[in-house]
């Protein structure tokens, strides 16, 4: 059809399978309301409300003043790769060669590299539904097939070894899990990751673990899958815990065999990660930066507890304990089976912006709440929500 003698160019078939973030429409509408003077509470944004720690900003400024504006090597500044390897040693007692670390433009860049390496056409990647939508779209961009596996409270919305054993077939090349996960905030136990790794090994499938919310866990210790799955592909980021979202900086840790291929892909896909950001990130692991980040983590924990209480008091259900990230995944089925409609109404009537479950797969009765706002705003959001839902919102 696209090659018919038409004067109109067409997009590739894959575009039909890639959805936009539906929340962007919410955001647009929210901005219009704000332009009209409305006080919108933003609980839809996947970004901490803290600016980057001053230590990191100052390191970035020093780098710019010193004229550090040239390309780095495709895998990143050697000093930053060493610092990241050192972080695994110091914090987790995991010793990896710095050459196994590749610095990338955000975790998006890391994930793209890994999928471009592993996923040929029609190859399958197992993913949890609900899950971060970009992941399945990046599989589609490689002409692979995302296999979205419906997961529920019985596995804390996580893919486990039994899912891999059941779903991995001839064409399956990788399993992608996230811990802590977006949108659910649930965490995989190390024992579960070890079982996942064993199941993947048995099926000759790569295990990819997204740890971009690694530092943001509550009521438990920070962990890395590398402890129990040394041959996994690990994706991480300076965005969330280190609060460097706009700098676009992440990293991956890969098994040694994959590094030359990943380097080749990095050269072609993006040349290198941003240089000022890489110099700034050298200050991310210093003791005083980590102390500040710990204080902010603690603040997020306080908000998490507050929002959990607010939502359950209203009558929403939180089916699995959210022990990480900065999201709550709320079952709204007591009120509606269409959270997209509910989200639109909550925005228009109560000026609360939320992300409906549809953005994360086939979850029409769920809503994601981000606690990236101060407590007072969460409380205010709760009052507005209570008012709205009390007025009978059966979709």
Question: Which residues in the 337-376 window bind a copy of itself by CB under 8 A?
Answer: none
| The one among 72, 184, 214, 351 contacting a copy of itself by CB under 8 A | 72
* R_g (Cα) of the chain, nearest Å: 21
How many residues line the site for a copy of itself (CB under 8 A)?
A: 82
SS (H, E, C) 228-247: CCCCCEEEEECCCCCCCHHH
Q: Which is nearer to a copy of itself, 61 or 344 (CB)?
A: 61
| The one among 34, 47, 82, 189 contacting a copy of itself by CB under 8 A | 47
CB of 305 to a copy of itself, least distance (A): 25
> With CB under 8 A as the contact rule, which of the stretches 94-102, 180-188, 269-277, 319-327 interacts with a copy of itself?
269-277
Distance (Å, whole) CA 361 – CA 364: 8
- Mask for 273-292, x = binds a copy of itself (CB under 8 A): xxxxx---------------
> With CB under 8 A as the contact rule, which of the stretches 95-103, 211-219, 264-272, 335-343 interacts with a copy of itself?
264-272
From residue 248, give the alpha-carbon distance in Å to each of 10, 21, 107, 236, 275.
31, 19, 8, 12, 11
CA nearest neighbour of 381 among 330, 314, 318 = 314
The three-state secondary structure class of 206 is: strand
Mention every residue, 6+ apart, whose C-beta is less than 8 A from residue 8.
none
> What is the CA 1 to chain-centroid distance, rounded?
36
Residue 120 interacting with a copy of itself (CB under 8 A): yes
Residue 32 interacting with a copy of itself (CB under 8 A): no
First-to-last C-alpha distance (Å) of the chain: 39
CB of 376 to a copy of itself, least distance (A): 21
- Mask for 5-24, x = binds a copy of itself (CB under 8 A): xxxxx-xxxxx--xxxx--x
Q: Which residues, 95 to 114, sit near a copy of itself by CB under 8 A?
A: 105-106, 108-109, 112
Residue 149 interacting with a copy of itself (CB under 8 A): no
Instruction: Provide the pairing of β-strand 352-353 with 41-42.
Output: parallel
Instruction: Identify any residues that bridge with 251 across adjacent strands, giving them in sequence order.
Output: 103, 236
Q: Which residues, 181 to 240, sit near a copy of itself by CB under 8 A?
A: 201, 204, 206
């Amino acid at each position: 059809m696209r090659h018919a003698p038409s004067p109109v160019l067409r997009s590739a078939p894959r575009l039909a399978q890639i959805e936009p973030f539906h929340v962007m429409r919410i955001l647009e509408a929210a901005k219009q309301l704000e332009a009209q003077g409305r006080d919108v509470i933003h609980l839809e944004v996947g970004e901490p409300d803290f600016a980057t720690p001053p230590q990191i900003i100052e390191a970035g400024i020093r780098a710019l003043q010193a004229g550090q504006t040239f390309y780095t090597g495709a895998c990143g500044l050697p000093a930053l790769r060493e610092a990241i390897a050192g972080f695994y040693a110091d914090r987790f007692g995991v010793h990896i060669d710095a050459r196994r670390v590749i610095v990338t433009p955000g975790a998006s860049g890391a994930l793209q590299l890994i999928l471009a390496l592993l996923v040929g056409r029609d190859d399958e990647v197992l993913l949890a539904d609900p899950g971060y939508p970009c992941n399945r779209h990046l599989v589609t961009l490689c002409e692979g097939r995302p296999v979205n596996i419906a997961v529920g409270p019985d596995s804390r919305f996580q893919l486990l070894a039994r899912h891999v054993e059941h779903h991995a077939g001839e064409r399956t090349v990788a399993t992608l899990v996230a811990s802590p996960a977006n949108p659910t905030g649930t965490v995989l136990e190390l024992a579960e990751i070890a079982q996942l790794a064993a199941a993947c090994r048995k099926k000759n499938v790569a295990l990819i673990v997204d740890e971009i919310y690694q530092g943001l866990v509550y009521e438990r210790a920070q962990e890395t899958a590398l402890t129990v799955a040394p041959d996994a592909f690990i994706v991480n980021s300076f965005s969330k815990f280190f609060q460097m979202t706009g700098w676009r900086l992440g990293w991956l840790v890969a098994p040694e065999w994959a590094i030359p291929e990943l380097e080749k892909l990095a050269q072609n896909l993006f040349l290198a990660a941003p240089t000022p950001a890489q110099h700034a990130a050298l200050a991310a692991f210093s003791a005083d930066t980590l102390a500040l980040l710990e204080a902010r983590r603690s603040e997020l924990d306080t908000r998490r507890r507050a929002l959990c209480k607010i939502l359950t008091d209203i009558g929403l259900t939180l089916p699995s304990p959210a022990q990480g990230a900065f999201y709550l995944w709320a079952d709204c089925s007591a009120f509606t089976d269409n959270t997209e409609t509910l989200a639109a109404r909550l925005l228009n009537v109560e000026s609360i912006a939320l992300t409906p479950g549809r953005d994360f797969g086939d979850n029409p009765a769920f809503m994601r709440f981000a606690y990236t706002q101060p407590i007072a705003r969460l409380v205010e959001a709760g009052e507005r929500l209570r008012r709205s839902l009390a007025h009978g919102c059966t979709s």
